[in-house]
């Protein structure tokens, strides 16, 4: 087979594979987008109905509220139940067993908390005059069964929350299933592909021109097919979005008529006013449906453009990927890769299990964590479509841009313990003091143990490394017990010498000290053993020679011991800096970051953000910042290590 | 001269003994608490206005009454036996999976030269730099929320095994490199397949290194606390570390049970550690000593 034949073959193969990859990935993206759209559609519907009812019960008294709620709920079978909570009161409920109005029970505290959370969110948005906190809360634990919570007002003031269970699994008011897609047409792509094959075999040219032509033709056909397919799907998506919007409009009109008939309609229905029912999660009107129920094509198109921007960028990336695959085939890289795979099949088989495990459980989570940090995902909004959670760099801005480290008041300076830079400061202080203690104590003990003719060395050594052997979470809990303010051993010792007991976990410095004491206790044996090993490898005759030359003890330490310890000590310090920086267990288990989070180090803080505040995305961003710090340290550390090697 | 030396040694002994007391006091304290048969954090009840000597008696790590009640009750009345069982199963499964994954990968890295070998080994190294909490949230979402493996052994085991891989692979590869290639060559000439060589020759020869790897995987799982506390939400599925914290963290403080449990959990680990510490240290400092 000559070169031209070879090229033709790999062009056809490459074209087929790259098209397959591109179409498959694009289809996957469109599927994801469509399911996102479906999610958004039904949640928008639910929010609209909840908003409508919240507006209808604003400014009404308790009986009237109860009546209106139950009237509306009876009219629409999709509204499964509605409850209204104001302060500690269950104002209204459509469930007979609730017997509203009454006080909230103890087991209903979650509702009170939710109401409080939404009130705070509203106030934050008002106070800062920006829209940052979501005031509409959505939960969709089973698909189609949506629980929406919105605030309702009285005299323009926050009065409480309205929670609606909305079932979207039944038939829609507008009737048609807007999401049943028409079958895709693959005719044109297939025809193009065949045409390309035909053209390729028909042309008879000089070999050199043929090579270029084949490459160009393959690339052209690929781009044509990919772009045509994506355009087709984009148009279909736009149709779907339009239809979905019309369906919402139909729902809106139907509901508005019902409200009107009952006299509950609280908003004007003329063309010029804003539709307050159909809002986003910050209760800002979407503006897609006018108050009279009409849909404007222009706003629609603008909305779709905005919505599909992200998707279009991803599609562009997919096209680039496909083109890259095709070029790999055209320039022979693919063939070489396959050959390598075949030749080293044994090796890849052996590596594969571990590699796959690492990719799935280490590298994918890592990438996912980074992605997560650009969203505002929390435990409460993880049901939302991905695009609605995407917030760009906001998390990083909030973490790094918040420089209100302290406040000046009449009583002096008040530190803000929740601030990132405070935590960073604590972490740095924590790392430096621990490593210093570890190295100093370790060095002293190693020097002592290295003394010639010392009795009982072996026993000392075993007893002194005991702290290293015990699992560190046990150590941490033990020291927590010893620092117990009332019965703890340490306060007993203080009192033994006539001192006052200390409430260890109540003061910033004393609490910091508990962590350092614990960590110092468990980390000095490592340093001691490492330094001892290095000391023992220093040849004795060096000291003897120095002694003969008249060097005193200090000079011997300064000019022999320390320089020779350096190659061992520096890597050990580098290592223990990272260990201490990431020492989660001690802070978390001994002081728990008390008082008031003042002694949190970066990673315990990230943990608490994630698993006590449930702000997953914010915690992911926090962890990304930690990773960046470690990365910078890593680069810096290689420099240092290299520098010491050249000594 | 001799006089000075002895005096120096006296001071050295004073320093060493005081540090040794500091080092072993918490250990003795836990031991005393575990044999005290009581739950409070103080070893004895002090009178209202205690004297110096009474306070001194209070801090001595000797229980007021010797009793093995804590040890028996932690098994019979608490769930500790179940937690130990959970820990044991998780650790053994982690060991089996971790050793399998590490051995195969290390063998390939040691014996084959293939494209991507250096990149792969570098990837293993880099993964050691990812901070735990950055992995924690995605792993929680992937394992618990997506795969529904919360409260199961499998979820913990696959995460533990993969996190232990990089260290184990690097260690095993180093050992495999020391096994001479001649043995394999003659086996290949005799017609043995790669798999036969791996199973019949390499693995038996690498037994000591595999034992260390197995121990390392086991200890990773045995001592892990954070992931286990997130993945295992129901009390029946706690591992021993999570259970021990349950005794003294938050709402209860059963220090006696905690102490007895800690002694049971630590004994095997401490014994192994003291046996194996020289290998560990030589591994840690291998890069620095030329």
DSSP state of A506: G
B229 within 8 A of B282, measured Cβ to Cβ:
no
Q: Is B266 on the interface with A (CB under 8 A)?
A: yes
pLDDT of residue A431: 94
Query: pLDDT tier at A173 (50, 70, 90 boundaries)?
Result: low
| Range of weakest confidence among A20-29, A203-212, A273-282, B136-145 | A203-212
A428-445: b (≥16 Cβ within 10 Å) or e: eebbebbbebbbebbbbb
Whether residue B113 has pLDDT greater than 70: yes
Residue B287 pLDDT exceeds 50: no
Q: What is the mean pLDDT of residues B198-222?
A: 85
Residue B158 contacts A, CB cutoff 8 Å = yes
Q: What is the pLDDT of residues A95-115, one digit of tens each?
A: 878 777 888 887 888 888 888
pLDDT above 50 for B285: no
What are the structure tokens assigned to A532, written together?
Answer: 């001892």
Q: Is the pLDDT of residue A409 over 80?
A: no
Q: CA A496, CA A490: separation in Å to the nearest integer?
A: 10
> CA distances (Å), B210 to each of B55, B169, B205, in order?
51, 10, 10
- Per-residue model confidence (pLDDT) at position B286: 44
What's the pLDDT at A432? 94
| Mean of the per-residue pLDDT values of chain A | 83
Q: In this predicted structure, what is the pLDDT of residue B200? A: 86
Rounded to a whole number, what is the distance in Å from the CA of A60 to chain B's nearest CA?
42
Beta-carbon separation of B24 and A463 below 8 A? yes
Nearest to A351 among B15, B105, B290 (CB): B105
Average confidence (pLDDT) over A424-429: 93
Chain A: residue nearest B259 by CA?
A478
pLDDT classification of A205: cutoffs 50, 70, 90: low
Mean pLDDT of the A422-437 span? 93
Rounded to whole angstroms, the Cα distance separating A360 from A95 reads 46
Helix (H, G, I), strand (E, B) or coil at A80: strand
In this complex, how many residue pairs, one in chain A and one in chain B, have their CB atoms less than 8 Å apart? 268
Lowest mean pLDDT among A15-19, B21-25, B42-46: B42-46
For A613, residues 6+ apart whose C-beta sits below 8 A from its C-beta are A378
In the stretch 199-218 of chain B, residues with CB closer than 8 A to chain A read: none
Instruction: Give per-residue pLDDT as tens, A72-93.
Output: 888 888 888 898 988 888 888 8
pLDDT at B282 over 60: no
- Extents of the domains making up chain B: 35-67, 78-285
Yes or no, beta carbons of A611 and B230 under 8 Å apart: yes
Question: What's the rounded mean pLDDT across residues A349-373?
Answer: 89
Give the strand pairing for A137-142 and A102-103. Answer: unpaired
Query: In the CATH hierarchy, which top-level class contains the domain A419-601?
Result: mainly alpha
Lowest mean pLDDT among A143-157, A187-201, A404-418: A187-201
Shortest distance between the Cα of B205 and any Cα of chain A, in A, equals 18
All residues of chain B having their beta carbon less than 8 Å from the beta carbon of residue A589 are: 245, 249
More confident residue, A413 or A371: A371
Q: How does residue B3 score in pLDDT terms, banded at 50, 70 and 90?
A: very low
Least confident of A139-148, A337-346, B277-286: B277-286
Interface test with B, best of A352, A358, A446 (most B CBs within 10 A): A358
Instruction: Kindly tell me the sign of the dihedral angle through the C-alpha atoms of A528, A534, A537, A543.
Output: negative
Question: First vs last Cα of chain A: how many Å apart?
Answer: 60
Q: In a 3-state reduction of DSSP, which class is residue B190?
A: coil
Cβ contacts of B169 on chain A, cutoff 8 Å: 354
Q: Do A484 and B41 touch (CB under 8 A)?
A: yes
Half-sphere exposure for A424 (CA within 13 Å, toward CB): 16
Q: Which of A348, A365, A465 lies closest to B135 in CB terms?
A: A365
- Contacts of residue B9 in chain A, CB cutoff 8 Å? 451, 453-455
Q: Are B137 and A614 in contact (CB under 8 A)?
A: no
- Put simply, whether B277 touches A (Cβ < 8 Å) is yes
* Chain A hits for B101, Cβ within 8 Å: 353-354, 357
> Do the Cβ atoms of B131 and A582 come within 8 Å?
yes
Per-residue pLDDT tens for A520-537?
Answer: 998 898 889 888 888 888
Confidence of residue A647 (pLDDT cuts 50, 70, 90): very low
Q: What is the mean pLDDT of residues A321-350?
A: 84
Contacts of B5 in chain A (CB under 8 A): 453
Contact B244, A460 (CB under 8 A): no
Contacts of residue A471 in chain B, CB cutoff 8 Å? 222-223, 241, 265-266, 269
Task: Evaluate if residue A186 carries a pLDDT over 70.
Answer: no
Contact call for B248 and A474, based on CB within 8 A: no
Predicted local confidence at residue A203, as pLDDT? 60
Q: Closest approach of chain B CAs to the CA of A305, in angstroms?
A: 31
Contacts 24+ apart (CB under 8 A), A36-39: A36/A385, A36/A386, A36/A387, A37/A179, A37/A237, A37/A240, A37/A241, A37/A244, A37/A385, A38/A179, A39/A140, A39/A383, A39/A384, A39/A385
Q: Does B85 contact chain A (CB < 8 Å)?
A: no
pLDDT tens digits for range B55-73: 777 777 888 788 888 888 8
pLDDT in tens, B158-168: 999 888 888 88
Q: How far apart are CA A314 and CA A415, in angstroms?
A: 44
pLDDT single digits (tens) A460-475:
888 888 888 888 888 8
pLDDT-derived band at B91 (thresholds 50, 70, 90) equals: very high
Q: Name the minimum distance, in Å, from the CA of A354 to any CA of chain B.
A: 5
Chain A: nearest CA to B24, how far in angstroms?
Answer: 7
pLDDT: which is higher, A102 or B1 = A102
Q: Do A473 and B55 touch (CB under 8 A)?
A: no
Lowest-pLDDT choice from A145-159, A259-273, A499-513, B26-40:
A259-273
- Are the Cβ atoms of A624 and B52 closer than 8 angstroms? no
Is residue A326's pLDDT more than 80? yes
Among candidates B26, B132, B273 on the partner chain, residue whose Cβ is nearest the Cβ of A603: B132
Interface contact flag, B270 A466, Cβ < 8 Å:
yes
Q: Return the residue of A nearest to B247 by Cα.
A: A477
The residues, ordered by sequence, that sit 6+ positions from A453 with a Cβ below 8 Å of its Cβ are B5, B9
CA distance A43 to chain B (A): 21
CB B152, CB B238: distance < 8 Å: no
The pLDDT of residue B97: 93
Residues 6+ apart with CB under 8 A from A121: A133, A134, A135
* Fold match flag (A59-167 vs A419-601): no
Which chain B residues have a beta carbon less than 8 Å from that of A366? Answer: 127, 130, 134-135, 138
Could A530 and B289 be called an inter-chain contact, meaning their C-beta atoms sit closer than 8 Å?
no
Residue A571, both tokens: 């890597």
HEC sequence for A106-175: HHHHHHHHHHHHHHHHHHHHHHHCCCCCCCCEEEEEECCEEEEEEEEEECCEEEEEEEEEEECCCCCCCC
Angle, in degrees to the nearest 10, between helices A472-482 and B240-248: 10
Which residue's entry shows tokens 């690492």? A358
Q: Identify the pLDDT of residue A336.
A: 80
| Minimum-distance CB partner of A623 among B9, B112, B131 | B131
pLDDT-derived band at A320, boundaries 50, 70, 90: very high
CATH number 1.10.630.10 given to B78-285? no
Residue B233's alpha-carbon distances to A371, B139, B155, B238, B246, in angstroms, are 26, 15, 13, 7, 12
User: Choosing among B9, B23, B111, B203, which should be mutated to test the A contact, i.e. which has the most A CBs within 10 A?
Assistant: B23
Q: Is B280 on the interface with A (CB under 8 A)?
A: no
**Is there a contact between B137 and A620 if contact means CB atoms under 8 Å apart?**
yes
In CATH, the number for domain A59-167 is 3.30.450.20
Q: Nearest CA to CA, how far is B92 from chain A (Å)?
A: 18
Contact of B23 with chain A, judged by CB distance below 8 Å, is answered with yes
- Interchain contact, A616 vs B141, CB within 8 Å: yes
Task: Please choose, from the candidates A579, A498, A492, the residue with its C-alpha nearest in 3D space to the C-alpha of residue B55.
Answer: A492
**What per-residue confidence (pLDDT) applies to B268?**
86
Confidence category of residue B2, pLDDT binned at 50, 70, 90: very low
**B7, pLDDT greater than 60:** no
pLDDT of residue B58: 75
Say whether pLDDT at B153 is over 60.
Answer: yes
Name the residue ranges covered by the structural domains of chain A: 3-42+184-332, 59-167, 419-601
Is pLDDT above 80 for B194?
yes
Give percent of chain A with pLDDT exceeding 90: 9
């Amino acid at each position: 087979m000559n070169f031209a034949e070879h090229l033709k073959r790999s062009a056809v193969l490459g074209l087929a594979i790259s098209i397959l990859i591109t179409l498959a990935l694009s289809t996957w993206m469109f599927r994801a987008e469509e399911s996102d759209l479906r999610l958004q559609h039904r949640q928008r519907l639910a929010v609209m109905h909840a908003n409508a009812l919240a507006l209808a019960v604003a400014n009404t008294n308790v009986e009237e509220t109860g009546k209106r709620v139950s009237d509306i709920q009876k009219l629409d079978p999709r509204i499964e139940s509605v409850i209204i909570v104001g302060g500690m009161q269950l104002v209204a409920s459509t469930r007979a067993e609730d017997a509203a109005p009454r006080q909230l029970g103890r087991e209903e505290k979650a509702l009170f908390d939710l109401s409080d959370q939404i009130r705070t969110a509203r106030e934050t948005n008002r106070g800062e005059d920006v829209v940052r906190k979501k005031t509409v809360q959505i939960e969709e634990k089973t698909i189609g069964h949506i629980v929406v919570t919105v605030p309702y007002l009285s005299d323009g003031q926050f009065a409480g929350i309205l929670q609606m269970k909305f079932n979207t699994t039944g038939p829609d008011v507008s009737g048609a299933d807007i999401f049943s897609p028409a079958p895709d047409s693959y005719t044109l792509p297939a025809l193009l592909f065949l045409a390309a094959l035909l053209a390729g075999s028909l042309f008879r040219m000089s070999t050199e021109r043929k090579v270029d032509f084949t490459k160009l033709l393959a690339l052209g056909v690929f781009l044509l097919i990919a772009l045509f397919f994506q355009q087709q799907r984009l148009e279909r998506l736009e149709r779907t979005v339009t239809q979905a919007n019309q369906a919402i409009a139909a729902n809106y009109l139907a509901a508005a008529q019902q409200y009107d008939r009952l006299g509950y309609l609280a908003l004007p229905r003329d063309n010029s006013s804003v539709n307050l029912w159909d809002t986003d999660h910050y209760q800002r009107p979407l503006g897609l449906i006018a108050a009279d129920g009409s849909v404007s094509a222009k706003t629609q198109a603008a909305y779709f453009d905005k919505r599909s921007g992200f998707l279009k960028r991803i599609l562009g990336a997919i096209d680039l990927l496909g083109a890259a695959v095709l070029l790999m085939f055209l320039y022979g890289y693919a063939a070489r890769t396959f050959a390598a795979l075949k030749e080293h099949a044994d090796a890849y088989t052996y590596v594969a299990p571990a590699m796959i495990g690492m990719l799935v459980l280490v590298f994918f989570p890592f990438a996912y964590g980074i992605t997560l940090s650009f969203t505002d995902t929390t435990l409460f909004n993880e049901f939302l479509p991905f695009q609605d959670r995407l917030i760009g760099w906001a998390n990083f801005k909030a973490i790094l841009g918040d420089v209100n480290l302290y406040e000046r008041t009449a009583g002096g300076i008040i530190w803000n313990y929740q601030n990132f830079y405070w935590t960073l400061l604590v972490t740095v202080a924590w790392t430096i003091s621990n490593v210093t203690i570890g190295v100093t104590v370790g060095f002293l003990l190693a020097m002592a143990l290295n003394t010639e003719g010392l009795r009982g060395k072996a026993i000392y050594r075993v007893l002194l490394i005991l702290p290293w052997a015990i699992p560190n979470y046990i150590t941490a809990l033990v020291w927590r017990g010893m620092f117990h303010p009332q019965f703890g051993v340490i306060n007993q010792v203080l009192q033994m010498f006539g001192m006052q007991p200390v409430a260890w976990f109540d003061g910033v410095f004393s609490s910091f000290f508990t962590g350092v004491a614990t960590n110092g206790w468990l980390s000095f044996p490592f340093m001691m053993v490492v330094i001892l090993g290095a000391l023992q490898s220093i040849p004795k005759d060096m000291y003897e020679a120095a002694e003969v030359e008249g060097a005193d003890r200090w000079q011997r330490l300064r000019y022999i011991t320390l320089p020779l310890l350096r190659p061992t000590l520096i890597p050990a310090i580098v290592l223990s800096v990272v260990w201490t920086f990431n020492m989660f267990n001690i802070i978390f288990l001994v002081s728990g970051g008390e008082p008031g989070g003042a002694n949190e180090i970066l990673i315990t803080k990230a943990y608490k953000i994630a698993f006590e505040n449930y702000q997953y995305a914010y915690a992911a961003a926090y962890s990304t910042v930690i990773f960046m710090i470690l990365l910078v340290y890593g680069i810096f550390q290689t420099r240092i290590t290299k520098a010491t090697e050249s000594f | 001269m001799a006089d000075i030396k002895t005096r120096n040694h006296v001071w050295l002994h004073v320093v060493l003994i005081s540090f040794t007391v500091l080092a072993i006091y918490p250990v003795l304290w836990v031991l005393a608490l575990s044999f005290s048969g009581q739950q409070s954090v103080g070893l004895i009840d002090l009178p209202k206005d205690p004297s110096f000597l009474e306070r001194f008696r209070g801090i001595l790590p000797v229980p007021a009454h010797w009793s093995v009640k804590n040890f028996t009750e932690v098994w019979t009345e608490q769930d500790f036996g179940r937690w130990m069982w959970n820990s044991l199963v998780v650790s053994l499964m982690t060991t089996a999976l971790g050793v399998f994954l590490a051995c195969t990968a290390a063998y390939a890295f040691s014996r084959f030269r293939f494209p991507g070998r250096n990149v792969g080994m570098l990837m293993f190294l880099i993964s050691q730099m990812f901070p735990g909490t950055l992995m924690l949230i995605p792993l929680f979402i992937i394992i618990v929320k997506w795969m529904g493996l919360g409260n199961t052994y499998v979820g913990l085991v696959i995460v533990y095994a993969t996190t232990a891989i990089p260290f184990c692979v690097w260690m095993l590869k180093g050992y495999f490199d020391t096994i001479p290639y001649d043995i394999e060559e003659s086996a290949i000439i005799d017609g043995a397949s790669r798999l036969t060589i791996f199973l019949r020759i390499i693995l038996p020869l690498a037994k000591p290194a595999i034992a260390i790897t197995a121990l390392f995987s086991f200890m990773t799982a045995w001592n892990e606390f954070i992931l286990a506390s997130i993945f295992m939400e129901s009390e029946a599925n706690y591992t021993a570390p999570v259970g021990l914290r349950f005794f003294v963290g938050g709402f209860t403080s059963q220090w006696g049970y905690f102490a007895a449990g800690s002694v049971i959990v630590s004994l095997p680990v401490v014994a192994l550690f003291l046996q194996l510490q020289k290998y560990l240290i030589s591994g840690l400092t291998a890069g620095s000593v030329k």
